[in-house]
Amino acid sequence: MTDEKNQGTLWASAKTSELSPPYHPLIRELAAEKNLPEDSMKSLLTHLFSPEAEKDRQFLYENARKTANETFGNKVYLRGLIEFTNYCRNDCYYCGIRAGNKKASRYRLTREEILECCHEGHDLGLHTFVLQGGEDMAYSPQDVADLVSSIKATFPDCAVTLSIGERSHEDYLLWYEAGADRYLLRHETADEAHYHRLHPKNLSLKHRMDCLYDLKSIGYQTGAGFMVGSPGQTIDTLLEDLAFLKKLKPEMIGIGPFIPHKDTPFAREAAGSMTQTLVLLSILRLMHPKALLPSTTALSTIAENGRELGILAGGNVVMPNLSPGSVRKKYMLYNNKRSDGSEAAQHIDELARRFEAIGYTIDFGRGDAPSHTL
Ligand code: SAM
């Protein structure tokens, strides 16, 4: 898939600037100050999204790599991803497991099956388990708490990350007290109108943001983030995303290209591009030098070497898939989502070789976020 075919809505707003401001000084200022005034950020982002900015993009990636190396060395942290249910009560327009997708073949894993995945991951050397799923109310809050405490009791040297959507303060607190260490909840977009373009009326940006602040105040290492090139995204909505993340100060930031799913209302929308995702990864690295930034599955879905490119743009985490083979194809968030080959935790050796080839080594530790300094 080429970037040209894959330009999404953003290129339209990314007009080539006739009067080129000096972009290298702006990138240096971003690296030194970890932020830029809004108009400078807008001009830099617009330029970096333009086809002729390749040299400047390379300069940006180099700076982001250097910044990541200063905190993390040439290490890539691993997280074992267990997609334990694809039932969801929500109807997000972009998502393949939305409630309204009657073609999705639904599954949920039992506590024993989830623990079995953790055993397999632990045997492979993994020390973080990410339990992700739709908002599936068939697991009661106490079921989730029991699951977390069993995992922590069986694998006391491991971190548990939850990623199961918007829930009450009581649920988040219960799970934290059961031992959950981290929580991933992408904000998806920080722009109100854009949020409504992506979600039905019963979902609100305010509630999602409140959940993120709540998670942080409880003490979770918290992850936010967004899709790149989602329908309706513009340079201005991206500026709002960058400003929101600066304010939230998340320990983790997950971004990846939007990819359409054939059985959703966005089936005919264009996918987000590799270039835009890499530029934003690098900008986020410079704005949040110590954040954990995954090079996502979506990135490796749009290009064979996407995961490596994400690391070379300043990412420092990958999340190999630990879900049982029998359900992997059912957690289909978007068309052609990769889940086998080097995406599978069982092929960590291949992953290690691929990272070695670009000068990185896999770190098998828990990979906690360093204390946050902005
Ligand atoms: N239900 C939880 C939640 O809402 O946070 C976690 C599961 S949800 C499927 C995980 C993430 O998948 C979402 O935050 C979204 O950014 C991403 N996602 C869903 N559909 C996608 C698509 N079509 N392309 C790229 N990413 C997608």
- The strand pairing partners of 227, in sequence order, are 256
Torsion of CA 281, 283, 287, 292, to 10 degrees: 10
Query: Model-level pTM?
Result: 0.94
Mean pLDDT of 130-143: 98
Nearest residue to 136 (alpha-carbon basis) of 106, 177, 111: 106
Sign (positive/negative) of CA torsion 236, 203, 176, 320? negative
Q: How does DSSP assign 180-239, residue by residue?
A: --EEE---B-S-HHHHHHHS-TT--HHHHHHHHHHHHHHT-EEEEEEEET-TT--HHHHH
Distance, in Å, from the CA atom of 84 to the CA atom of 324, rounded to the nearest integer, reads 9
User: pLDDT for 222-271, tens place per residue?
Assistant: 999 999 999 999 999 999 999 999 999 999 999 999 999 999 999 999 99
Q: Which range among 8-17, 86-95, 310-319 shows the weakest confidence by mean pLDDT? A: 8-17
Q: Which atom of ligand 1 is nearest to the CA of 96?
A: 20
User: pLDDT for 177-214, tens place per residue?
Assistant: 999 999 999 999 999 999 999 999 999 999 999 999 99
Q: Compute the distance from residue 123 Cα to the ligand 1 centre, in Å.
A: 28
pLDDT at 159: 98
Find how far residue 185's CA is from the centre of its chain.
Answer: 9
Name the residue of 333, 335, 337 whose CB sits within 8 Å of the most ligand 1 atoms, as the mutation to test its pocket: 333
The tokens 């942290």 sit on which residue?
77
Tally: H helices and E strands in the chain: 15, 9
Q: Three-state DSSP class for 342?
A: helix
Contact 315, 92 (CB under 8 A): no
Share of the chain above pLDDT 90, in %: 90
172, two tokens: 């988040």
- Split at pLDDT 50, 70, 90, the class of 317 is very high
Distance, in Å, from the CA atom of 174 to the CA atom of 215, rounded to the nearest integer, reads 12
Q: What is the mean pLDDT of the chain?
A: 93
CB-ligand 1 contact for 134 (6 Å cutoff): yes
pLDDT at 372: 54
Mean pLDDT of 213-224: 98
Distance, in Å, from the CA atom of 87 to the CA atom of 97, rounded to the nearest integer, reads 7
Name the residue of 83, 84, 95 whose CB sits within 8 Å of the most ligand 1 atoms, as the mutation to test its pocket: 95
Q: Compute the distance from residue 230 Cα to the ligand 1 centre, in Å.
A: 11
Residue 123: C-alpha distances to residues 63, 104, 156, 259, 280 (Å): 36, 32, 14, 33, 35
pLDDT at 122: 96
Is the pLDDT assigned to residue 341 strictly greater than 60?
yes
Contact 127, 365 (CB under 8 A): yes
Edge-to-edge strands, sheet with 182-184: 80-85, 128-133, 159-163, 182-184, 221-228, 252-257
Contact 78, 318 (CB under 8 A): yes
Mean pLDDT of 271-291: 98
CB-ligand 1 contact for 331 (6 Å cutoff): no
Distance, in Å, from the CA atom of 356 to the CA atom of 346, rounded to the nearest integer, reads 18
Q: Three-state DSSP class for 129?
A: strand
Name the residue of 227, 261, 269, 339 whose CB sits within 8 Å of the most ligand 1 atoms, as the mutation to test its pocket: 227
pLDDT at 305: 94
Q: Which range among 21-25, 170-174, 337-341 shows the weakest confidence by mean pLDDT? A: 337-341
User: pLDDT for 165-179, tens place per residue?
Assistant: 999 999 999 999 999
221, two tokens: 């290492």
Nearest residue to 199 (alpha-carbon basis) of 270, 271, 265, 268: 265
Count CA atoms within 13 Å of residue 42 on its CB side.
11
